Structure 1
């Protein structure tokens, strides 16, 4: 994955119709060449390159990712593990989150509001591997509790936000 996040986007980051068309086309196929993208949007290739680079520099485009099917690599089970930290661990949230994303099998980590502190999307090869993952989380002193929900099916939204 190429992560291109240079800075945080603010509400006053202007996005015009051409930018939205570029974003829509890239969300449908992020592998489009610059010339194909320019043709699809109806602008010159040089303008297209400049605008995409500007969207990256302004933090609107955060990255280009490869989406791998976990089951193709032997990870046939996916789950969401809700993690609640101990009240004394509140100051450790950034460090804990940084550690979570490095754990084997972790696909996504969400820091959330509510009863739980994190929702961790994880892939595992077996129920035993999933249990071992959750038990490993539960053994750390920062964790007050975990709750695991198996994912039967995962559908990615196609409408997007552009």
Structure 2
């Protein structure tokens, strides 16, 4: 099923970002180390999908919930001609509004019966190159999703493994021993159900 993401766009100039005020620091006190944002390839000050109209949004809604729907049925549901619908879908793919089409496979079908969420906090010196560490997490065989998050942790990692032994090895022997990792916390997933975003 397709998913949507935001990408930088060169269509028009975006508004300038407003300056962020800083909190005053008492005299003599050392400022708290800043946590850099995950850098983007380019500024996304303007909304790259601002030009999407009601038909585009209806197409996205239908495809998000049934990525295998035929173009004929999709056109009928959104109320446009089949040729128009096909052009719209191709334009949405080209713009990045539709990331791709894929099958969502139950990890248990591949023998991965245990899923977990692992929060990861990096050492302060490692936060200067968050993209590199994110790429490292994405390459781990057990990884299903990687999230860069706010708060006292830097990443949330969704993994699927065969059993508790495999999970322990991943956390204790791989992640915790990584020189850039300061701390981890693991939560087992008992059950999850697909949502229908609106």
TM-score by length of 2: 0.74
Q: Report Cα offsets for 1:33-86 as digits up to 9, x if no partner.
A: 222211222211110011111212222112222211011111111000000001
**CA 8–157 in structure 1, closer or farther in 2 if over 3 Å, else same:** farther
Higher strand share: 1
Q: Give the match for residue 114 of structure 1.
A: 151
Q: Give the match for residue 77 of structure 2.
A: 40
Which protein has the larger Cα radius of gyration, Structure 1 or Structure 2?
2
Counterparts of 1:75 and 1:53, CA distance in 2? 35
Q: Report Cα offsets for 1:110-146 as digits up to 9, x if no partner.
A: 0001110000000010000000011211111000010
TM-score by length of 1: 0.90
1:8 matched to 2:14: no
Higher helix share: 1
1:123 matched to 2:153: no
Please say which of residues 116-125 and 31-40 is displaced more in the overlay: 31-40
Is contact 1:138-1:144 (8 Å) kept?
yes
Question: SS of 2:140's equivalent?
Answer: coil
Paired residue total:
160
Structure 1: any 5+ residue segments left out of the alignment? none
